[in-house]
Amino acid sequence: MQKAASLPLPPADALAASDSLATRIGETIDAAGGWLGFDRYMSLALYAPGLGYYSGGAAKFGRDARDGSDFITAPELSPFFARTLARQFAPLLAQGLPRLLEFGAGTGRLAADLLLALEQDGQLPQEYAIVELSGELRARQQATLAQRAPHLAQRAVWLDTLPEHFEGVVVGNEVLDAMPVRLFARKGGRWHERGVARSVAGDDSTSAHAFTFEDRLLAEADIPEALHAIPGDYDVVTETHAEAEGFARAVGAMLARGAAFFIDYGFPASEYYHPQRAGGTLMCHYRHHAHPDPFLYPGLQDITAHVNFSGIAHAAVDAGLTVAGFASQARFLMNAGITDLLMTLDPSDARTFLPAANAVQKLLSEAEMGELFKVIALTRGLDDGEPLAGFARGDRCHAL
């Protein structure tokens, strides 16, 4: 485990905010009788009003630690990500589905670049709705749109809740991995739920060590279904994703006609719960360092888990959607034409072409985002005979 001491120290005001959040989490633990499920801890650490990582003032997205950011996402890395998605979305918008809805829009970069690309493709949506949990990010999204696409900014609207009925195209990049997970540990063949308790008094009193894991033995009837698929009795720590699956069902209830695309890192269940992944996928990001300690600086670092795409697919199918495609990000972007788009730049103009090509390479490379990230498409009521271009080759729906 990477020690707090080896990570950059937050400024004093950020540490004070983290301490306030730690106090609030501590009170919540006390009120719950001394133990909180990890999903509740993660929810508070990321989304507690004003103090959580996504709801507070952390910089979050950026290129490196010098700008105070913690990680970079595909829309921030390259505009070719949005431009390629636009290629996939344009024919859908043309089918009489003139609305786009983005979940968790981050800095607003994907929204701005998608609108610009769709304008170029002659398929501007009438409306670009954004569902964002964080007021701080909503303000950043408005500023990004005003700066990058001022003439299109008025098409964006922010929604506080999911619409009851939506016809159009839905997109969420790295949203499912930001949803709280429950943690479970199989020790000596017996399943426990891994929750959070206060550290024992006398331990290091910094907020980084205010909390500790505590495992509670589960009755057989309380062991989640997904865990029964893990054979043997070797020791395991893993996650389940009830919130993300509930979200997929809610998207299914909302989507009357159209397609929803979710892009994220993760696997089908058979890989997720494979013996080789017996340590689980919980991961934290602080100043571009990835480490496994969720109790470091609550509210100042991102906490994520990989996505179990089989769970998402089954929840969506339960809600009446069709899984129209599941592919690696590299396959999806190449099928949808990212290399053609890149070649619209002049390769002899090295100053423009090389950085653009390097960023696209990161999106596609197996060693970077190309294979770990997947794209799933969930549809309802689309015209038959119009397969989605992004899944033309290398579709892995059979693996879900």
Please give the structure tokens belonging to residue 278: 């017996």
Please give the structure tokens belonging to residue 152: 């299109």
| 196/303 with CB nearer ligand SAM | 303
Task: Please report how close the Cβ of residue 71 comes to ligand SAM at its closest, in angstroms.
Answer: 7
Give the residue nearest to ligand SAM (CB): 104
Task: Please report how close the Cβ of residue 153 comes to ligand SAM at its closest, in angstroms.
Answer: 18
| 73/207 with CB nearer ligand SAM | 73
List of residues contacting ligand SAM (CB under 6 A): 54, 61, 73, 75-76, 103-106, 131-134, 137, 173-175, 178-179, 247
| 250/397 with CB nearer ligand SAM | 250
| 173/301 with CB nearer ligand SAM | 173
Task: Please report how close the Cβ of residue 181 comes to ligand SAM at its closest, in angstroms.
Answer: 12
| 179/312 with CB nearer ligand SAM | 179
| 159/350 with CB nearer ligand SAM | 159
Task: Please report how close the Cβ of residue 285 comes to ligand SAM at its closest, in angstroms.
Answer: 9
Task: Please report how close the Cβ of residue 176 comes to ligand SAM at its closest, in angstroms.
Answer: 8
Residue 43: closest CA among 33, 54, 30: 54
| 112/185 with CB nearer ligand SAM | 112
Task: Please report how close the Cβ of residue 103 comes to ligand SAM at its closest, in angstroms.
Answer: 4
| 285, 72 contact by CB (below 8 A) | no
Task: Please report how close the Cβ of residue 173 comes to ligand SAM at its closest, in angstroms.
Answer: 4
| 113/132 with CB nearer ligand SAM | 132
Task: Please report how close the Cβ of residue 193 comes to ligand SAM at its closest, in angstroms.
Answer: 22
